Amino acid sequence: MIICLFAVASTAIASDTPPCTECHPGKDAGKVVHPAIGMGCEPCHTSSHNMETFKFEAGKNPQGLAASEPDLCYKCHDESGFSKKVQHLPLASGCTSCHDPHSADAPKLLKNSGQPEVCFQCHDKKSFQGASVHEALSMGCTTCHNPHSNEKRKLLVTAVPELCYGCHANFPGPKLHKPVEGGMCLACHNPHASAQKKLLAFKYPDLCYTCHQNQSVKPVVHKPVKDGDCTVCHNPHLNERQAQLNTLPPELCFQCHDRKLVSGNYVHGPVAAGGCMLCHSPHQSEQKGLLSSSVDDLCFQCHMDKQEEIKNARHVHKPVADKCTNCHSPHAAEFRYNLVAEPGRDLCAKCHPDKMAQIDKATVKHGALNNEKKCLACHLPHVSEFPKQLADQPMNLCLNCHDKTMGEGANKLTNMKAKIMNSANLHGPIKQGDCSACHDPHGSDNFRMLVKFYPNVFYAEYDTKNYSLCFNCHENTLVERPQTGTLTGFRNGKQNMHYLHVHKTTKGRTCKACHDMHGSNNPKHIRYSVPFGTSGWELPISYTKTATGGGCTSGCHQDFKYDREKPVRNRK
C-alpha cells in the first residue's frame, strides 16, 4: 500500500498540471491572469494538502490564504499606494471586492467586465444616467478617480479645476466667473450625468438663481430670461466684459432685435453709443419694453431743460403730457429730432387729421402753412404760455408776417401791423387781439380765409347769408328794419341809414364800403377811403361827424347828411 501511494504521489508531482487545478479548474481561464499564478498557488495559499491542517489554516484566514487581505496583497503591491488620506471604502473589505485574484477578462483583473460595471456594485447606476453623460465615463472612472487611495477628496486624481482642464480648455484669467475663478466647476456641473444639457446641476435659470437674485418676478420679463437661457447674453465662464456679456451692446441686442430698429438719418445719442441699457433693463421691468422707468422719466434724465419747461408751463401739448414717444422715436428716425414723421405736417396729422383735411381742401390757403416750418410757424410742439400751443399771442403771431404790404391790385394786403398801430378806433376782435374771430388760420373756402361767408365785392344784393360773418356778432335787425330809434345811431330821424345802404336788390353796399373791419381813426371805424374796382383805386368817403349825426361826400355821389334829432332832407 505504501508503495502504491508513493507511486501515485510521484505521478502527481511529475505531471505538468498544478495539483490545485485538479480540484479548482479554470482559475487561469480569463484573458488577464494574475502573475502570481505563474509562481504557483503557494505564494497566496497555504501549501498543506492535509485536510486537518487545511481546516486549521482556513479557520484563521478564508480560502486558506497565507495572510488576510489586504496584507497578503501588500507582499507584492506597494502598501503606500493604498494608505493615503482618502481611501476607497472597498479596501476595508479586501482587494477581491473589485479584483479577481486569479484571472479576469477585464484589465487589472477587474470583475464584472471592468469599469464602470465593477463600480456599480456599490455606486447607483442611475446616478450615471441622464440626458447628458460625462464623456469621461466612457474612458473609465479611473480617468478622474484613484480607485485605491489619494490625498484629494472623492479620490480625485487631481483637484478641480485642474482635473477638468485635463480635457477642457483652460479658461484664461484673470477675469473669470466667480465659481470658475474659485475652481468650483461642480457648483454648476454634475461630474457624472445630468438631466440637463452640459451636465448642469439644475436647469437654467434655476442654476443661476442659486447665487443670483430671481430676475423673472416683475410683470415684464426679457424673453431670454423668460425662456430660462441666461447664456444667450452671458458667458458662464469668462468675465472679459461687464456682467460677463458674450459681446457688448448694441451688437449683443442685435442677436435678437432687428438692426433696422436703429437705422435712419438720425440716431438717438444713447443708441449710437451702444447704451441700450441706459433706458432698458436687461432682465425684467415694471414697464413695457423693459424700460427701466417711465418713458418721460427716462427722457428727463438727459433732457432736464424740457422737464423744467413742462413743469412750469401753462399749457402742455397733450402728446407731451402723455409720453415723449408719441412724437419722437427713442431709437432712430428719418427726421430731425428723431421725429416719427415729417415735422409740422405728417406728424401733426397723426392727432389732427381734421385740420389736415381742412388745409388740403381749403380753396383759400394760408401762406404761412407753405413755409419750411409749416404748423410750427405758429404752434410750439411742447409747451406754451398761450392756448392752442401758440408761440405768441394770436395777434402778435399774425403781425409777425402781416407787418408789410403784400400782393398787388385786388389781392393786395395792407401792412396790417402799421394800420392797427395807427388806428384810434379798432374793431372789437382786433381790440381783443383775436384775428381768428373772423379769419381761419388754417384756410377757408371764403374770401380772405374768413370763417363765414362775406361777399368779395363792393355791391351785393342783400341776403342774410351774405352777411353771416358780420351777423355772427351783430344783430341782423340792424339792416332789416327801415325805421328805428334804438338799433343804430346811423339814422336820419328814425330812418335807418344801414337799411338804406345795405338792404337793396341792386347796388346794396356791403359793410366794408363804409367800415374798415380792422380799425380807423374815425368813429365806428369809418373808412377814409375804400378800394373800388379792380385797379386798386381808393374811393374817398370824406366822412364828417357831428354831435347828432354826420355826413359824407363820397367819390360817387353828392354831399349827404343825416341827423338823428333834426332829419335832413337830402337831394335825390
* Tens-digit pLDDT profile for residues 316-361: 999 999 999 999 999 999 999 999 998 888 899 999 999 999 999 9
Mean pLDDT of 545-554: 90
The string of pLDDT tens digits covering residues 164-203 is 999 988 887 778 899 998 889 999 999 999 999 999 999 9
How far apart are the C-alpha atoms of 349 and 352, rounded to whole Å? Answer: 5
DSSP 386: S
pLDDT at 12 over 50: no
Mean pLDDT of 80-106: 91
Q: What is the pLDDT of residue 564?
A: 95
* 7 CB-near residues (< 8 Å, 6+ apart): none
Q: What is the pLDDT of residue 48?
A: 55
The alpha carbon dihedral of 241, 245, 251, 253 has a sign of: negative
Amino acid identity of residue 138, one-letter, is: S
> Residue 189: phi, psi to the nearest 5?
-115, 140
SS3 assignment, position 274: coil
- Which pLDDT band holds residue 458 (cuts at 50, 70, 90)? confident
523: cell is 368813429
Q: What is the pLDDT of residue 109?
A: 93
Q: Could you tell me which of 134, 115, 132 has the C-alpha nearest to residue 196?
A: 132
Mean pLDDT of 77-103: 91
DSSP E strands, 222-298: 266-267, 284-285
- Identify whether the C-beta of residue 490 lies closer than 8 Å to the C-beta of residue 498: yes
Helix axes 295-302, 304-312, angle to 10 degrees: 120
DSSP 529: E
Q: What is the pLDDT of residue 430?
A: 94
Contacts 24+ apart (CB under 8 A), 306-313: 306/382, 309/382, 309/383, 310/382, 310/383, 313/382, 313/383, 313/384, 313/385
How far apart are the C-alpha atoms of 281 and 325, rounded to whole Å? Answer: 18
* Residue whose C-alpha cell is 497566496: 44
H-run or E-run covering 551: strand 549-552
Average pLDDT, the chain: 88
DSSP E strands, 170-263: 193-194, 220-221
Segment among 226-230, 497-501, 528-532 with least mean pLDDT: 528-532
Q: What is the pLDDT of residue 411?
A: 77
Q: What is the pLDDT of residue 204?
A: 87
pTM of full prediction above 0.85: no
How far apart are the C-alpha atoms of 384 and 316, rounded to whole Å? Answer: 7
pLDDT at 376 over 50: yes
Q: Which position has the higher pLDDT, 98 or 62? A: 98
Mean pLDDT of 283-306: 94
SS3 assignment, position 384: strand
DSSP 131: S
Mean pLDDT of 273-280: 92
Q: What is the pLDDT of residue 571?
A: 80
Q: What is the pLDDT of residue 54?
A: 52
Q: What is the pLDDT of residue 40?
A: 83
Mean pLDDT of 1-26: 51
Q: What is the dihedral of CA 503, 447, 517, 366, to 10 degrees?
A: 170
Q: What is the pLDDT of residue 232?
A: 93
Q: What is the pLDDT of residue 539?
A: 85
The string of pLDDT tens digits covering residues 377-411 is 999 999 999 999 999 999 999 999 999 998 877 67
Q: What is the pLDDT of residue 49?
A: 56
290: left (phi over 0), alpha (psi -120 to 50) or beta: left
How far apart are the C-alpha atoms of 144 and 150, rounded to whole Å? Answer: 12
The string of pLDDT tens digits covering residues 489-500 is 999 999 999 999
Mean pLDDT of 112-141: 92
- Which pLDDT band holds residue 10 (cuts at 50, 70, 90)? very low
- Identify whether the C-beta of residue 503 lies closer than 8 Å to the C-beta of residue 458: no
How far apart are the C-alpha atoms of 278 and 291, rounded to whole Å? Answer: 9
Percent of the chain past pLDDT 70, that is, above it, reads: 94
Q: What is the pLDDT of residue 373?
A: 86
pLDDT at 3 over 50: no
Q: What is the pLDDT of residue 6?
A: 33
- Which pLDDT band holds residue 452 (cuts at 50, 70, 90)? very high
The domains of the chain are located at 453-572
Q: What is the dihedral of CA 223, 227, 232, 235, to 10 degrees?
A: 120
Q: Measured over all CA atoms, what is the biggest interatomic distance in the chain, rounded to whole angstroms?
A: 192
H-run or E-run covering 319: helix 318-322
